[in-house]
Amino acid sequence: MNPAENIARTFGIYWPNLIAQVILFVLVYLILRRYAFKPIVDMFEERRRRIEEGQLNAEKIKQQLALAQQRYEEILAKASAEAQRLMEEVRASSERLADQKRQEAIAEAERINQKAQESIQLERERVMAEVKHELGRLVVEATEKVTGKVLTPSDQQRLNEETARQLATA
Amino acid sequence: MRMGIYFLAEQISVNATPFFPNHTWFTNSLLVTVIVAALLLIWARSATAKMELVPSGRQNVFETIVEALYTTFEGIVGRHMIAKTFPLIATLFVFILAANWFGLVPGVGTIGFGPPAHGPLALEEVQRPLLRPSNADLNMTLGMALFFMIWWVIWTISEVGVVGFLKENFAPKGGMKGAMWFVLLPLFLFTGIIEIISIIFRPVSLSLRLFGNIYAGETLLHTMSELGSGWPIPLNWITSVLFPLPFYFLELLVGILQAFVFALLCAVYIRLSTTHAEGEGEGAHGH
């Protein structure tokens, strides 16, 4: 018996026993690999793939969200600037319109005022003419009654002119 | 001789006991291997029969164990090798653990055949135990180690190739060129030969470590149970249960530890031989 064989016998190693144990272990390995570990490992890999996919999607969504946020802010800023510009325009336009309306109103008021002044002047002149005429007539009548004579048209003319002159200076 | 329960155990034999003279391969340790394998397969199959993406019940427990192993060994062998190697490493771990713990079940090593003693089913000694812990048989541990080493060679060659393997073990490392390369070549050839010898002895060290621990544990439990053998009945019966009790907890720990050490060393061996292609100096040569 060689030394290796001697050691093997000491530890109870025999080829048939060894082969029988190996065959059993190989069977266990093959069955566990096929029916236990492979499905579980496939499941892990599937979960891992889904998680990685989910993380990628989340990252993509995050980027899209950031982009959307940026776009939203840009649009908002643009809209705000546009609104500001429109407000300015409206304000300027309304001021211009108000100014125009004010000017028109002032002009209208002046026109009405002027018209009223003219009307008053005309009325005044008409009244003054009537007053002059009436006063002249009254002066002629008074003079005729005081003097007891009938005044000639030239006297009447002169008296009327004298009365008008005095009225004008009064 | 009759079959019965041996209450006061003696020194257990290094050899597994065959049941039939003409079929010496069918031993009591092989019977335990068959039982353990059957239990494992039933458990694993029941846990994975109706797999669901959201696990529950037995699938949950099984997945938790497998996931813990997967994560642990993935960190050692690397992501590129885990899919290939995990089934074998996990089988080694689960099988060794189950076999080790099954060896602690009362009756393993103490139920068998021998000369009758006083009391029902009692024996003077168990000359031929019905059950023997699988890993207390060197045929089992050596068989597993050899099977692993066959796969180790296949994986190593498929990953780094024969030239890569030889270069990794024999060629000077550290990016040396010119005259220095030739000067150091004999030294690296010598260390390479030592490395090859250490690789050849890996199955021996793997199998002897596991066998030694489990066989020693079995012997320890038997020794503890026979400490009170000189005492009167029923005191010796009680002490045969009480004395080994603390050591059962130790053996529970040894059982899982040895399973983990075996699987871990296998993973480390794979790592050492399959990651060198990625860059020199990665991974130390240690055993």
Gap from A51 CA to chain B (nearest CA, Å): 13
Confidence (pLDDT) at B275 = 79
How far is C-alpha A22 from the geometric centre of its chain's CA atoms? Answer: 85
Cβ atoms of residues A20 and B25 within 8 Å: yes
pLDDT at B279: 46
Q: What is the pLDDT of residues B32-89, one digit of tens each?
A: 999 999 999 998 888 887 777 777 778 888 888 888 999 999 999 998 898 889 999 9
Q: Give me the pLDDT at residue B1, please.
A: 53
Q: Burial letters for B151-177: b for 16+ Cβ neighbours within 10 Å, e otherwise?
A: bbeebbeebbeeebbebbbbbbeeeee
Long-range contacts formed by B111-114: CB under 8 A, 24+ apart = B111/B3, B111/B4, B111/B5, B111/B6, B112/B3, B112/B4, B112/B6, B112/B17, B112/B28, B113/B1, B113/B2, B113/B3, B113/B4, B114/B1, B114/B2, B114/B4, B114/B6
Q: What percent of chain B has pLDDT over 70?
A: 91
Cβ of B142 within 8 Å of Cβ of A18? The answer is yes
Residue B259's nearest CA partner among B184, B217, B209 is: B209
**Range 1-20 of B in CB contact (< 8 A) with A:** 13-16
Alpha carbon distance A4, A88 (integer Å): 105
> Nearest to residue A30, comparing CAs of B93, B41, B142, B268?
B41
> Domain-by-domain residue ranges, chain B?
2-278
What is the average per-residue pLDDT within B144-153?
Answer: 96
In this predicted structure, which of B146-150, B177-181, B226-230 has the lowest mean pLDDT?
B177-181
Answer yes or no: do A41 and B88 touch at CB < 8 A: no
**Paired strand residues for B116:** B123
Name the pLDDT band for B150 (thresholds 50, 70, 90). very high
- Across B152-171, average pLDDT: 89
Closest C-alpha to A32, from B7, B56, B274, B40: B40
- Residue B156, both tokens: 């190593």
Test B25 with A12 for CB contact under 8 angstroms: no
For A85, the token pair is 């510009």
Any idea what DSSP says for residue B21? T
Give the mean pLDDT of B231-245. Answer: 85
pLDDT digits (tens, 9 = 90+) for A93-145: 999 998 999 999 999 999 999 999 999 999 988 988 888 888 888 888 888 88
- Percent of chain A residues past pLDDT 70, beyond the cut: 99
Closest CA to A29 of B66, B139, B41, B65: B41
Q: Give the DSSP letter string of A83-104.
A: HHHHHHHHHHHHHHHHHHHHHH
Mean pLDDT of the A34-63 span:
88
pLDDT at B234 over 90: no
CA distance A87 to chain B (A): 59
> DSSP assignment, residue A14?
-
Residue B283 is predicted with a pLDDT of 42
Reading the block at residue B239, the tokens are: 């002490």
B287 pLDDT higher than 60? no
Structure tokens of B188? Answer: 């690296």
Task: Tell me what pLDDT residue A11 has.
Answer: 86
State percent of chain A over pLDDT 90.
Answer: 51
End-to-end, the C-alpha distance of chain B in Å comes to 47
Q: Are B6 and B111 in contact (CB under 8 A)?
A: yes
Amino acid A170: pLDDT: 67
Among residues A143, A135, A163, which one has the least CA distance to residue A151? Answer: A143
Band the pLDDT of A167: cuts 50, 70, 90: confident
- Going by pLDDT thresholds of 50, 70 and 90, the confidence category of residue B8 is very low
- CA B73 to chain CA centroid, Å, is 16
Task: Give the distance, in angstroms, between the CA of residue B111 and the centroid of all CA atoms in the same chain.
Answer: 24
Residues from chain A contacting residue B259 (CB–CB below 8 Å): none
**How far apart are alpha carbons B270 and A44 in whole angstroms?**
22
Residue among A113, A18, A94, A26 at smallest CA distance from B27: A18
d(CA B253, CA A80): 73
| SS3 at position B7 | coil
Give helix then strand counts, H and E, for chain A: 4, 0
Portion of chain B with pLDDT greater than 90, in percent: 43
Task: Give me the interface pTM, i.e. the ipTM.
Answer: 0.85
Give the Å distances, CA to CA, from B95 to A47, B43, B61, B218, B259.
26, 12, 17, 18, 8
CA distance A1 to chain B (A): 18
A36: contact with B, CB 8 A cutoff: yes
pLDDT averaged over every residue in chain A? 88
CB contact under 8 A, A43 and B26: no
pLDDT number for residue B249: 94
